[in-house]
Structure 1
């Protein structure tokens, strides 16, 4: 067999890599020029007056985070990505605990005049949205005035904003809290037209991940699993919205069911929201500025400017307290994003980074327990097992492992918890999805269409087939056997950890998803609680009273840290068509599935993608 052959996809991948290299080298030259001037500017600036100390006294806390909510910020320093080159920006990450600390402290801060909330450009999962909403509610109930504003309110941003004293909306905006929708694109006809054949192997009746490659619509099992999870979540969300706005029960549901008729009668969507009591005022940007000036005049008495304010991170720096250090440590290792091999990056729980972190904790004798913080929809089975093996090594030292599930701990995100001594989940955690699938595309359809024949000779029968030919039955049977065996291992790991019989766990496996509260009921988790609860329990198992928390994160080279800070301050941006930007974002995920040389045995929860609410 010719080992030097290159598939069409391989050639396309090499072409894209070369193009990327050319673009990166070009932009690097420009950046070096800017760096030179930045050094000069920094040296000159260092002789200037130091800035005044920032305080919160007589100011409005400006709570307007833009980006996404994460457990722990992860910085990708390995290389420029195509998004970096074409998009010119990276996603701003806001740690959930930082946001909660700011709001919780603001509730008792007598120096602050009020809190302004605008979370319309903040992406987050529902569990995080509920936590932030509770924190805003706490600020309001403490007697502090909270004013929320947006130009469009999504499910999550309206949930949070509904807890404010006043909700303002732009005259051109609308409330789009229309419920929990999950739509997917189904590619089976597309790939049929492209002559690409997908060979899909699954284990788990409710494992819906590969459905877009085998169906042209959502299966009944997928609908059932999703609705059983989403409907109680939507009820909880609308209850909180209506309670915050003092609306009659059912108001939000009725609004969602009749919104298009209401807009037909009154095309002014913001006015419709006002008439229903969803908001208190409809304003322009100029009017909100004037309103805020009347309520909180600024020190310059400038009616065209917003009030004197303090930002989230200036306020966080002011309230941060020096924490006492103790000899005993509890390690926190984060698994956040899709579990894949390689280094961690935004949205990627890289097993190389995570294994290094676990090994560092294992070698540290001061670490008396480990808390695994999981916020992941799963991913590669192989990468998940690498993480589990490292955790086994830690557990062999007779130190406890406690799992804390965040927004999502599903599929591979469950796999990595299977050697925990105790599992905490939050009420709104999405977990479960215990199932496995594999996808292997073949190019025989394209080759037949193009009139290309593949032939040759091989030393063994095992090397007869390659991806340019249709997959023979004996290969399909072997792969399905491997998928079934992986599923058996997965269910066995979970059943052993949960002290359940294999057969007793099967009804709750099969790819089904569950909320944290339901998972507690059926025995998939031990306790409802957050990361703080998990740390306290870890200390109890480790029999220590005083301890410090040591969070292991991706190590950053000092020079990389310098460059990151420099690029952030330079603030270079290029413009890109948003449609192209969307395609760039989707490209890596789909390439992962169609590259023939990629391991495609996955334990991934595709339902989880519907949980993130963007602006």
Structure 2
């Protein structure tokens, strides 16, 4: 017994000492993080430097707060991803920075939407007004990166490289065949001829209406793509269409022949060219600063979305920029999803703050829960009564994403923003055959009312149940179209005529009255300031991003999990996300974009 107590006592002491040791190690780690976060203002920018831009990561609306940025452990590599807000701020700063002589666009995969690329491209066009150069180089030019790079003074490609110039396509994956094999029927209740989010569950190919709308908005986006390149490269738009349509751009030599690029060069030749442009001797190292590092050294004010933020930083007036990014659902959400509670709270905070004179709601969302969308719409409507609220649309602001925007004073969109999709749907699976025939499982029970088990997936809907659900969906659509009609000052009949779930580009939406102007975030901010009657102001960003320590305690495990899944699946990660999203479709009525739009 004595030996037993000795053993227990020794184990207890060892446990205490180990705990103290781990606590000390954790404290040291936290100290390193705090020290790094507090002292890292980025490297000093040398004179005759080049701003180096290689965007090989998805661009979020704003730079994420990450607890271990710049560190590498647990398989998490150093993260140099930068949000759109900081990328634009960095380009604007470089325009007037005497230390920066030009921009070098290196190979980028442009994993973001068309509107984000458009904002970056316009920022680069504005940068060129300074007289500074932009040089682009890549071994592989995707169409997205070429569109961005087309504004450069010189465009080069590796002599053995690849350039895509073939036109746009958009594919939909249909699941009906797989569901049939499993014995699962997708019971669809919807309003909107063009509301095609549910088509993959009960069709094997596009409906005629869906094919019509996709042809329309894809054609609009492609026309804008060709128009932009035509203006930058001084090539006739019809000629560009012909090059793509007839497959004339297959090799780097083809791109050079038809003047899409300016030369075939290896990376060492590009570096020599850049040294010559910055008066650096061939034997010396090129002076450059990565955009992620430059932003740290260039911006003293974290609210740097506006081009005049620095000169207005001392003003007591505020303009609140509220970021609504991702799918819409109830609850809090996070920086990559729209929780109705979190966004509503942010709008209320801006509305009740006397220092905030106007609000800009930045929407980048395919929609989601119709109820959660209505909750946010209500806060936008209340805000409009007391101060200006302007919407700036990103890559997509459709369905529920349009619902939360429609009550604003005015709406800005990029020409290639995806918007509209005014419609409602619900999906309820009937898994009776799957349970009975595939698994041999049967169900039986009792109920106290005719509709007590409405929504039971183990059996099909009765005609009466389907009628009840259709009535609910119709009511949701009527609420949606009335909200849009009131916000846009149109008749409900007119909104219904351009609604029905139909998707539009920003350019098309301007013509049919769903948006007011084509423009970017800065344009929306300037409009908000003008409507509020203020010239001097600071920007404040909402919702507040989670601190590194809250991420440590709440979200690190999810972040680590997502990192490894992405690393393993690569480009197929999008299918994993789509599978996860199927369960959401089957919970509540949805105001959601027909599907993920991917331009190839």
- 2:169 corresponds to which residue? 181
Q: Distance in 1 between matches of 2:48 and 2:214?
A: 47
Q: What pairs up with 1:133-532 in 2 under 5 angstroms? A: 133-140=121-128, 142-259=130-247, 263=250, 269-289=251-271, 292=274, 301-302=283-284, 307-320=286-299, 322=310, 323-395=312-384, 398-449=386-437, 450-464=439-453, 466-532=456-522
CA RMSD of aligned residues (A): 3.7
Identify the range of structure 1 (442-451 vs 101-110) with the bigger mean alpha-carbon deviation.
101-110
Q: Distance in 1 between matches of 2:30 and 2:441?
A: 60
Secondary structure of the corresponding residue to residue 59 of structure 2: strand
The yes-or-no answer on 1:66 pairing with 2:48 is no
- 2:305 corresponds to which residue? none
Change (3 A) 1:262 1:514: closer
Change (3 A) 1:35 1:425: farther
Secondary structure of the corresponding residue to residue 334 of structure 2: coil
- Per-residue CA deviations over 1:349-378 (Å, capped at 9, x if unaligned) read 222321221232233232233222212221
Contact 1:66-1:121 within 8 A present in 2 as well = yes
Change (3 A) 1:491 1:555: same
Shift in Å, 1:95: 2.8
Q: Distance in 1 between matches of 2:583 and 2:43?
A: 54
Q: What pairs up with 1:113-152 in 2 under 5 angstroms? A: 113-118=101-106, 120-140=108-128, 142-152=130-140
Contact 2:481-2:492 within 8 A present in 1 as well = yes
Q: Distance in 1 between matches of 2:41 and 2:425?
A: 57
Secondary structure of the corresponding residue to residue 411 of structure 2: strand
Q: Distance in 2 between matches of 1:521 and 1:601?
A: 29
Change (3 A) 1:287 1:576: farther
Shift in Å, 1:231: 1.6
The gaps in structure 2 that reach 5 residues or longer are: 1-18, 301-309
Q: What pairs up with 1:49-88 in 2 under 5 angstroms? A: 54-74=44-64, 88=76
Shift in Å, 1:488: 0.9
Q: Distance in 1 between matches of 2:460 and 2:553?
A: 49
Q: Distance in 2 between matches of 1:542 and 1:179?
A: 43
Contact 1:151-1:172 within 8 A present in 2 as well = yes
Change (3 A) 1:90 1:190: farther
Provide TM-score, normalisation by structure 2.
0.82
The yes-or-no answer on 1:546 pairing with 2:536 is yes
Provide TM-score, normalisation by structure 1.
0.80
Secondary structure of the corresponding residue to residue 606 of structure 1: coil
- Per-residue CA deviations over 1:249-307 (Å, capped at 9, x if unaligned) read 43332232232x765xxxxx3333333332233344455445545665757935xx6x2
- 1:13 corresponds to which residue? none
- Per-residue CA deviations over 1:367-415 (Å, capped at 9, x if unaligned) read 233222212221111211221233344456x233322223322111111
Shift in Å, 1:554: 3.3
- Per-residue CA deviations over 1:439-492 (Å, capped at 9, x if unaligned) read 111211211213322112122222245211222222222111111111111111
Q: Distance in 2 between matches of 1:215 and 1:199?
A: 12
Change (3 A) 1:315 1:592: closer
